[in-house]
Amino acid sequence: MAIKDTPEEWTVTGTTTPFTGAKTSVRTDRVVMPDGSTATRDYQVHPGSVAVLALDDAGQVLVLRQYRHPVRQKLWEIPAGLLDVPGENPLRAAQRELYEEAHVEAEDWRVLTDVYTTPGGCDEAVRIFLARGLSEAAGERFEVSEEEADMELARVSVDELIRGVLAGELHNNCLVVGVLALTAARAGDGLDALRSADAPWPARPFAA
């Protein structure tokens, strides 16, 4: 048997949306189980996200520190953001986030990995890109606000990030998945063997 996730959709007999927010909502589905019973499943409906593991020529990763209110912590993360427009091209969204959050652009883009962040309670899908050939972006810096106004930027070695992940000191899922996937890719067929930046993404189909 191939170890591969596959599409499947169980019958839904009813759906309500008890909460609708600015970017996400909560949906309640009545789902028919394999034994014929019906169960209620509540989950967050999410537009999807992109994240960027930006690796410079010195082998350091661009990270930022940002306050995350739900967990009451300042977390070290990699640049990331929402797919605000339905069908938005994820590469263009990732390039925008790298520019807005770090004022950096990149020459080489690959898909590092695709993940569902919390599939038991949220339909968020994230595409994590690897960006290389970094340089300072031209023009004025993007004007940040709210939590991003307090954001700190740093460049940290991959080894130090891995140490922090395994020590339980770094918790952001995109950072954790990204640095571990980077390490696995290096140990395998190499970074140039990663999928192209425009590889299909069934979880969030997009226009060219």
pLDDT digits (tens, 9 = 90+) for 108-121: 999 999 999 999 99
The answer to whether the CB of 181 falls within 8 A of the CB of 158 is no
Identify the pLDDT of residue 84.
86
Max CA pair span of the chain: 60
At 20-38, the pLDDT tens digits run: 999 999 999 999 999 999 9
Q: In this structure, what are the phi and psi dihedrals at residue 52, rounded to the nearest 5 degrees?
A: -130, 115
DSSP state of 20: E
* pLDDT of residue 145 exceeding 60: no
The domains found in the chain, sorted by start residue, are 12-44 (no CATH), 49-196 (3.90.79.10)
Residue 149 has pLDDT above 80, yes or no: no
d(CA 192, CA 146): 37
Confidence band, pLDDT 50/70/90 cuts, at residue 159: very high
Query: Is 183 a residue whose pLDDT tops 80?
Result: yes
Active site (catalytic) residues: 148
Say what the pLDDT of residue 148 is: 62
